[in-house]
Structure 1
Amino acid sequence: MSNNPFDALGGAGGPGGLDLGALMQQAQQMQADLMAAQQRLAEATVDGSVAGGAVTVTVTGGGELTGVTITPEALDGTDADALSDLGDLVVAAYRDARAQADKLAEDTLGPLAGGLPGGLPGMPGGGEEPPRGQLGF
């Protein structure tokens, strides 16, 4: 009897066997799919706006701010309070756009998590790590 715990799995194609070639091919396909999804996400843009479109910001699918549009109506004056209000509107519009970008990332990358419990930890839309046993795995 062998001390190798994987001997019980048998060879490729055997009863209870593990086909490492097929597993590697599946892993490579998943990596290619993930890279393609990340590229689509990086190229996508979303807009967030507040105050009826008075301030609109554009962000990439990855959350990078790429544009800000402010209508003349958004600025009620040039005093400190009006400028502070304008700053608040820009921040709120960015938060709106970022929430949309996060949703886009979840929709784009979420299916790649497949049957993993809770999705992919650390990825947009990913869940927490699955509970660990007493030995830490």
Structure 2
Amino acid sequence: MKDLLGMMSKVKEMQSRMEELQQELEALDVQGVAGGGMVKVTLSAKGTLKAIAIDPTLLTPDDAEMLEDLIVAAHADARAKADRLVQEKTQALTAGLPIPPGLKLF
């Protein structure tokens, strides 16, 4: 019974810390780049698109398809960085807790 109460206490503590982490992740920004920095995409660590910066030299009708590809690549780069950041923060938060492998908390 004592173990169950201790576990419930840890679960409540982790729940509170997870809520704090959710807020922190929304405030953290990651930037993805493509085309040697000609296209930059900024996302929150939770994946909300916040900004796109495009080098003006890419804004020609002849470069439209390339620009579209660079935006997608920059977004993918930012998303990968955000996913790594979430994974690192979650691992730090859940260190020492008996969580089954493969369980995704976000």
Q: TM-score, normalised by structure 1?
A: 0.67
Contact 2:14–2:94 (CA<8 Å) still a contact in 1? Answer: no
The answer to whether the aligner puts 1:49 opposite 2:29 as a matched pair is no
Q: Output one character per residue of 1:22-80: Cα deviation in whole Å (capped at 9) or x when no partner.
A: 222211111111111111111111000011210000001111111100011334x323x
Pick from 92, 95, 100: which aligns with 1:117?
100
The answer to whether the aligner puts 1:73 opposite 2:57 as a matched pair is yes
- AA of the residue aligned to 1:116: I
Question: Which consecutive unaligned segments of at least 5 residues does structure 1 have?
Answer: 1-11, 13-17, 125-137
Pick from 14, 18, 26: which aligns with 1:34?
18
How far off is 1:106 after superposition? 0.4
Which is helix-richer, 1 or 2?
Answer: 2
Pick from 102, 107, 115: which aligns with 2:88?
107
Identity of aligned residues (%): 36
- AA of the residue aligned to 1:117: P
- AA of the residue aligned to 2:69: D
Larger radius of gyration: 1
Question: Which consecutive unaligned segments of at least 5 residues does structure 2 have?
Answer: none
Q: Partners in 2 of 1:51 and 1:64 — Cα distance?
A: 22
Contact 1:57–1:97 (CA<8 Å) still a contact in 2? Answer: yes
Q: TM-score, normalised by structure 2?
A: 0.85
Q: For residue 47 of structure 2, what is the aligned residue in structure 1?
A: 63
